[in-house]
Amino acid sequence: MKNKLFLTESEKSRISGLHRMAIATESKNMLNEADLFQVQQMLIDKGIMSPTLRNGKTSADGRLGPITLDALYSALTQGNAGTNGVAGTNGVAGTNGVAGTSATVIPGQPKSAQQIRQDYRQQKQNERQGARVVRKNKKELEKELNDLQTNYRKLQNKMTPQDKQSYELRIGQIQTDLGNF
């Protein structure tokens, strides 16, 4: 999303108040549907969230789905926290909170929740691929070591000193490499 969110202090306090009320009135750390509807409507009014979905229904439905999460993430990460952050001194953020005057603004376009999930999946896939490559390389080294040791034992008495030294160096190098896995 290329839109920037500019919330007034009263809007920031209102959002924070809705969140605090939800925490106080519910056992779970969730907003109730009426409050979430108001937050969604505010995001639509600010142009952060699309007013309609593909099926023609309004996106302000009081449900915390992927569209709402993307819009909230975009709104909160666009670096417009202001001097008091999302809330005042006792709120979620502010002078005593997470964001505020010392908030770090991340340069560049913020990522949506979907992009973050895709990046996470890609990172995990890369880690699995890396682990497969390491296992494959280790197997190949173990096979090469086994072949070298077998050949060395068979041909030990027929080798020149240079050939023996070459075999011994390579065997030692492979054993060291395997020890590093």
Model pLDDT for residues 40-95, shown as the tens digit of each residue: 888 888 888 877 765 666 667 777 777 887 887 777 776 544 433 333 333 333 33
Alpha-carbon distance of 79 to 4, in angstroms, equals 9
Residue 143 has pLDDT above 90, yes or no: yes
Crossing angle of the two packed helices 113-155 and 66-76, in degrees rounded to 10: 90
Weakest mean pLDDT among 8-12, 44-48, 125-129: 8-12
**Taking the CA atoms of the chain, what radius of gyration do you get in angstroms?**
30
**DSSP bridge partners of 58:** 52
Model pLDDT for residues 66-76, shown as the tens digit of each residue: 788 788 777 77
**CB-CB contact of 178 with 148 (8 Å):** no
Mean per-residue pLDDT, 17-36: 60
